[in-house]
Amino acid sequence: MEFLRMFSGDLINGIILGAVYGLMTMGLSLIFGVLKVVNVGHGAFIMVGAFIAYWMFTLFGLPPLLSAILALIVGIALGFFFYYVVMKWLLEAPELSTLLATFAIGIFLAEVAKAVWGPDYRGYSWNVGSLNLGVTTIPMAKVYALLSSIVIAVALYLWFKKTRAGNALRGVVEDKEGARVCGINVEGYYALSFAIGIGLTVMSGVFITLFVPVGINPYMGEVYTIKAFVIAVLGGLASPWGAFFGGFIFGLVENGSYAILGLIPGVEPFSLTQCLAFAILLVLLLLKPEGLLGKK
Amino acid sequence: MSLLELKGVTKRFGGLVAVDHVDLVINEGERLGIVGTNGSGKTTLYNLISGVYTCDEGSILLEGLDITNMPAYKRAHLGLARSFQIPRPFGQITVRENVAIGALFGTLIGEIGEDEALEIGEYYLEKVGLYPKRNEIANALTPIEKKLMEVARALSMKPRLVLLDEAMAGMNPKDIDRIVEIINKIHEEEKISIVSMVEHIMRAVVNFAERVVVMNQGKKIADAPTQEALNDQKVIDVYLGRFALEEQNA
Amino acid sequence: MNKGKYYPLFVAIGIFLVLFIFGKFAQGMWEPVALIMFYVAVGEAFNVFLGFTGYVNFGYVVFMGLGSYGMALVVSSSSMAGLGPWILIPGFLFAAIMAGILAAGVGAIALRLRGAYFAIATIGVNQGVKFFIEGAKIWGGSEGIIISKPLKVALGPHLANAVTTFWADFLVFMIAILAAVITIVFLHTRLGYGLIALREDEDAARVMGVNTTKYKNIAFLVSSILAALVGATAWCLKTTYVFPDDVFALSYTVDAIVIVMMGGTGTLLGPVVGGLIYGILKYWLGILLPGFQLLILAPFIIIIIILFPEGIVGVLKKRVRGKKLEKFIA
Ligand SMILES: Nc1ncnc2c1ncn2[C@@H]1O[C@H](COP(=O)(O)OP(=O)(O)OP(=O)(O)O)[C@@H](O)[C@H]1O
Ligand SMILES: [Mg+2]
């Protein structure tokens, strides 16, 4: 009974964290979908968002929901900057170049963060009450993170499907040459998608801080990069909506399996949940590389 | 004697039937032309024969041996060679090395040493007139030269059957005549079957092919000696209107 | 032709020899030279796969890690303590076998993927192995394995000390030579031609008769085993401990990529030159601006990727085409 209570509590937490994971991965998928670039420095942008949330809160008492907007703006600016300084020159380059370049960007950001703020672990707590669900109590901060993630995903979806820019971007994803012939400024849309992708990622870093009480530090990004890879593959790698869905699956598996794996004596369940995630990644890449929702 | 036989070969891409139940026989030593409008399924047919794609339906026999599900590299060993419509050279290595790779891997008859393969490469480059360019990096060739290099690469594999995919597209009449001549000469010397897709280049069809197969929307709509096929009313309807135009322009 | 083919190998071995002599006789220079040779060996091993196939094995470090575990497990197993110094032979063998088995498995499965999918899958393999070791608490779990004691027991304190301060590094030299020999053989044999063809265009290679699956797997296996040997000596023997957080750090894969790219992918001398420059740079920056090496290296890497994607030896090879020097550069 006690186990079931814990287990369902884990699942609920899994769904909530999953929404944030989904948001965290949408940018990665958007960038891969449009530029065919895997951003290995993804997590560093999450770290930037986390620091924005931290400083805005500790210095000015700005709640994360507001700093999220600031993070989006900073992220878009960073996205344009790195697009024009780095990515633009590598559009025709082999995989190797873009993998290495994005990794180097990630290192650079982490090192700048370390030089400016030091290597310490930091955290803050945004206390806005909690919600009692019987099996578990959930801080309202996390509920806000869940709701915000869903709102942002829906907004992006509407932008993509209903606006002219969104339509043009879809055209670019489907048929680059065709789009060019139709007079669409393909390069401009590359820059825009990179910027939006990074913007979303930095913003997601703000919400991540609500789940890691003292985990903010310059090198926090790597785990999220790798989690985002798994999630992106779950969703088909090139689809932001698939990624959002993949986030929920990942959140559920990660949190759900924790309670179950904890039943095995003599193991370290947290690491095993991670191991399971990568086992899923490999199986999926082999059996269904187009993602869980994708069609052949 | 039939060298290659296709029975009801079909390939679908989603809802589109790119190749639709095609039956086709290619005879030993034959010069066959395949024509058809854009998107009629010619390249897909080549991809099925050479093993780049696998058939959704039907079967392919090489001298009676079922090769329908055989991997591409094994088909190459049995004597199938091809060029690509959009040339696919091994870009970073020399022209000579490109052709040598054909000699090294295209056949199972006796192991050929690397140096010998390079010599064979030179021999075939000579044949297609690219010998002077043998030490250039393949990417540095012009599109026409790349196509010729692919012909040499295919020949160096000692094939029984060579499939050429629009080796003459985009060339002027003088080049076309020259290449048809080269190909006909190779055909004579090497005693191999050659299937060439000549799309809408009338001049090449008439000068090269003994027999013509006409494709339309994935289906084979005609298969007859060249003159006869080109006079077929069905063919004229879907296709030859454009031939006439081309001829006037040429 | 013929013998001239092997000249670049002599150039590489010449460079190693100079480095060795410099490290041995210049005061305090052995450690920096060992660091440089580590990077050279890592780059060469990585290049055997990347340079010849174009596939980016982002999880490459997992094979170095497994190699160091293989050595650690043998050295710390009490049943082999009686072997004395010979214990290193089963150590290397076990390192190679462990990496070989994983490489065969991963190769059979992941090599069916291309491009970004392959890179992501290999990252997944690395993380999966690391978390499995930590999670299932095998091989010391997240505590790792410390072999300083068993190494002393097996070799005696004197020799154990010599291994960590000299022989471990010396073996890295040997592995670098082995990798260079393998590279030159690849470059000039049927196998190498098949690999280069598949690197340039996999589909075209296949219709020309190249069994691409087989060749990719061979290159992957060879590269992985070389990585394991480097890990076994440069990490396990030299430091006498193996911690999962260290030996599965993806940053080592990135080091390898940078080295190979800076030097020139698919060339013999590329990783040698790349490793040399990268090692010297890291060492100097470490002295001049401790703590800021990466901050400077990152933009440097980006500049190299954008401006010199062919690498130093790649550019050089083009320059000397048709000249006398040509046969020395490959
Ligand atoms: N890999 C593929 N995926 C989806 N559709 C494809 C693919 N390859 C070919 N097709 C479609 O199959 C049809 C036949 O194409 P194919 O290239 O075989 O024609 P073709 O006769 O060679 O034309 P062309 O004269 O333009 O070379 C076309 O409608 C094409 O769009
Ligand atoms: Mg075609």
List, for residues B151-167, the tens digit of each pLDDT value: 899 989 988 899 988 88
Contacts of residue B220, defined as CB under 8 A and 6 or more positions apart, other chains included, come to B22, B23, B24, B213, B214
Residue of A nearest to C54 (CA): A96
- Kindly report which listed range (A17-21, A59-63, A123-127, B202-206) carries the lowest average pLDDT score: B202-206
In a domain, A292, yes or no: no
Domain count for chain C, please give it. Answer: 1
pLDDT on residue B201: 65
pLDDT: is A80 or C318 the higher one?
A: A80
Is there an atom of ligand 1 within 6 Å of B44 CB?
Answer: yes
Query: What does DSSP say about strands A130-132 and A137-139: parallel, antiparallel, or unpaired?
Result: antiparallel
Is there an atom of ligand 1 within 6 Å of B107 CB?
Answer: no
Domain count for chain A, please give it. Answer: 1
Helices and strands, number each (H, E), in chain B: 10, 10
Which residues constitute the domain of residue C11? 3-328
Kindly identify the ligand whose nearest atom is closest to the C-alpha of B42: 1
Token digits of residue C295: 């901050």
Best of B44, B86, B213 for a ligand 1 pocket test (most atoms within 8 Å of beta carbon) = B44
CA A16 to chain centre: 14
Q: What is the longest distance spanned by two Cα atoms in chain A? A: 64
In a domain, B128, yes or no: yes
Q: What is the ipTM of this complex?
A: 0.87
Distances (CA, A) of B2 to B26, B29, B162: 6, 9, 15
Q: How does pLDDT run across A41-67, given as a tens digit for each residue?
A: 999 999 999 999 999 999 999 999 999
Ligand 1: which atom is nearest the Cα of residue B42? 21
C-alpha of residue B44 to centroid of ligand 1, in Å: 6
Of B93, B101, B114, the CB nearest to C208: B101
pTM for the whole thing?
A: 0.89
C-alpha of residue A185 to centroid of ligand 1, in Å: 27
Average pLDDT over residues A194-223: 92
pLDDT on residue C15: 95
CA distance B101 to B122: 12
Contact C208/B at CB under 8 A: yes
Q: Using the CB atoms, write b or e for B40-60: b if 16+ within 10 Å.
A: bbbbbbbbbbbbbbebeebeb
Residue ranges in chain B modelled with pLDDT below 70: 1, 109-110, 198-201, 238-250
Cβ pair B151, B102 in contact under 8 A: no
In a domain, A73, yes or no: yes
Is the pLDDT score of C1 beyond 50?
Answer: no
Of C56, C294, C306, the CB nearest to A99: C56
C-alpha of residue B42 to centroid of ligand 1, in Å: 8
C329, containing H or E segment: none
CA distance A205 to A78: 14
Distances (CA, A) of C6 to C3, C9, C10, C182: 6, 5, 7, 11
- Kindly report which listed range (B193-197, C132-136, C300-304, C306-310) carries the lowest average pLDDT score: B193-197
Is the pLDDT score of A294 beyond 70?
Answer: no
Is there an atom of ligand 1 within 6 Å of B199 CB?
Answer: yes
Domain count for chain B, please give it. Answer: 1
In a domain, A209, yes or no: yes
CA dihedral C301, C302, C306, C308 (to 10 degrees): -10
In a domain, A205, yes or no: yes
Mean residue pLDDT across chain A: 89
In a domain, B122, yes or no: yes
Is the pLDDT score of A95 beyond 50?
Answer: yes
pLDDT on residue C3: 58
pLDDT on residue B229: 81
pLDDT: is C187 or C218 the higher one?
A: C218
As a whole-number percent, the residues of chain C with pLDDT over 70 amount to 99
A137, containing H or E segment: strand A137-139
State the nearest Cα–Cα gap between C319 and chain B, in angstroms. 13
pLDDT: is C5 or A191 the higher one?
A: A191
The CA-based angle A97-A99-A102, given to 5 degrees, is 100
Ligand 1: which atom is nearest the Cα of residue B53? 1
Average pLDDT over residues C51-61: 92
In a domain, A123, yes or no: no
Q: DSSP string covering A240-266, please?
A: HHHHHHHHHHHHHHHHHHHHHHTTSTT
Q: How does pLDDT run across C124-150, given as a tens digit for each residue?
A: 999 999 999 998 889 988 899 999 988
**To probe the interface with C, which of B73, B85, B88, B133 has the most C CB atoms within 10 Å?**
B73
Chain B segment 207-226 residues within 8 A of C by beta carbon are: none
Average pLDDT over residues A268-287: 86
Which residues constitute the domain of residue A103? 2-117+129-287
The CA-based angle B119-B121-B124, given to 5 degrees, is 115
- Kindly report which listed range (C159-163, C274-278, C290-294) carries the lowest average pLDDT score: C290-294
Kindly identify the ligand whose nearest atom is closest to the C-alpha of B170: 1
Average pLDDT over residues A215-231: 90
Residue bearing the CA closest to ligand 1, atom 12: B18
Cβ pair B161, B172 in contact under 8 A: no
Most confident segment among A63-72, A226-235, B119-128: A63-72
Q: From C131, C130, C124, C90, select the one nearest C109 (Cα to Cα).
A: C124
Ligand 1: which atom is nearest the Cα of residue B14? 4
User: Cβ contacts (< 8 Å) between A268 and chain C: which residues?
Assistant: 134-137, 141-142
Is the pLDDT score of A105 beyond 90?
Answer: yes
Cβ pair C168, C31 in contact under 8 A: no
- Kindly report which listed range (A194-198, B137-141, C35-39, C228-232) carries the lowest average pLDDT score: B137-141
Is the pLDDT score of A26 beyond 60?
Answer: yes
Mean residue pLDDT across chain C: 91
Is the pLDDT score of A115 beyond 70?
Answer: yes
Q: From B42, B25, B34, B36, select the one nearest B212 (Cα to Cα).
A: B34
C-alpha of residue A107 to centroid of ligand 2, in Å: 46
Q: What is the CATH number of the domain that holds A61?
A: 1.10.3470
Partners of B62 in the beta sheet? B4, B65
Q: What is the CATH number of the domain that holds C158?
A: 1.10.3470
**Is the CA virtual torsion A117, A120, A125, A131 positive or negative?**
positive
Token digits of residue A54: 């931290």
Which residues constitute the domain of residue B140? 86-158
Residue of A nearest to C136 (CA): A267
C-alpha of residue C62 to centroid of ligand 1, in Å: 42
Q: From A53, A51, A46, select the one nearest A69 (Cα to Cα).
A: A53
Distances (CA, A) of B247 to A233, B32, B39, B96, B212: 53, 21, 22, 36, 18
pLDDT on residue B241: 56
